[in-house]
Amino acid sequence: MNKHALSQVLTILVIFSLVSGCGSRASVKTATPAIPPSVTALPATATLPPTHTVQPATAALPPTATALAANATNTPAPYDANSNPGILPPDSVVQGMTYAEWIASWWKYVLSLPAPQNPIPPGTGPDCMLQCVEDVVMVVTNDWKGAPIQCEAPAGTMLLIPIEYPECSTLEGEPFYGGDEAELRACVQKFYFQDLEASIDGVEVQNLGAFFIPATPLYQFTVPDNNILGVPAASGESVANGIFLMLAPLSPGKHTIYTHAFSAQANFTVEKTLVLTVSENYQAGSGQVTPTP
């Protein structure tokens, strides 16, 4: 076994030993060309929990797709698992789901929130919300606030942190509209971000472009009345892309997470400083973190 493979196995084993938060012990796997027997490879079709009905993609990405990456190409650079201890590699499978499927689930949750409870503008909810899915906490924040966001999250859980996250759907108007899966994939590929930055407790995340997911599987979602899309309550389909980080459980106490990305097409920046208090006394299952006063 080479040094790189051994490091990946040790990282996964450490994560197994730490996770014990929102529900049953999480299943974390990594897909690599040469996987030791102790680590199960990424299945061709992941089995999703009943609460995460994400359809597998049926159409391949066009070869001319414009995908976001740190070097502005649509081919992420090779990822070295040793470069970011504590962050699950982009080919990881957590609780049977890939990064792409987690992004789809994140968006399904976000779109299900009424605007008065939604952190994403034009929502007017708390600046930070989270949703527990077994041992993973999906974090949703107001990345346009312009001031540090205070949050509390349960100890012993992995954290899904968004950095940039365009989506297109069958319910929205232009430029976010697509009538079918092919149009949705073409739509979301029009949006890409530059000037990517992320750090955790002052330590810069390396090779951030390698975490770029060009497109999620096609997924179904439902929006309530008074939603952030500004459309009547309905169900639709969507495809998203973006960069998210799945963090291994952080130690109890305060942590600072900074993310930044700029979209030239939309001429706006998504940026946040998240001051996260990881608490052993947090009551799991509430689905909401402590909002900023």
- pLDDT, residue 283, reads 63
Mean pLDDT per block of 10 residues along the chain (293 residues) reads 40 38 42 28 29 31 29 50 85 96 98 96 94 95 91 95 95 95 95 89 94 96 97 97 96 96 80 95 52 31
pLDDT of residue 156: 95
13's tokens = 């084993």
Tell me what pLDDT residue 192 has: 78
Query: Which uninterrupted H or E stretch holds 140?
Result: strand 136-141
Q: Provide the pLDDT for residue 27.
A: 40
217 in Cβ contact with 48 (< 8 Å):
no
Domain edges within the chain? 3-43+68-279
Residue whose C-alpha is closest to residue 219's, from 136, 97, 101, 119: 101
Q: Which two tokens stand for residue 2?
A: 């080479």
DSSP state at residue 41: P
Q: Which amino acid is at 189?
A: Q
Q: How far apart are the first and last CA of the chain?
A: 51
Contact 30, 13 (CB under 8 A): no
Cis bond upstream, residue 49 (ω within 30): no
Alpha-carbon distance values, 164 to 9, 19, 51, 260, 261 (Å): 29, 26, 24, 8, 6
Question: Under a CB-based contact definition with an 8 Å cutoff, are residues 262 and 193 in contact?
Answer: yes
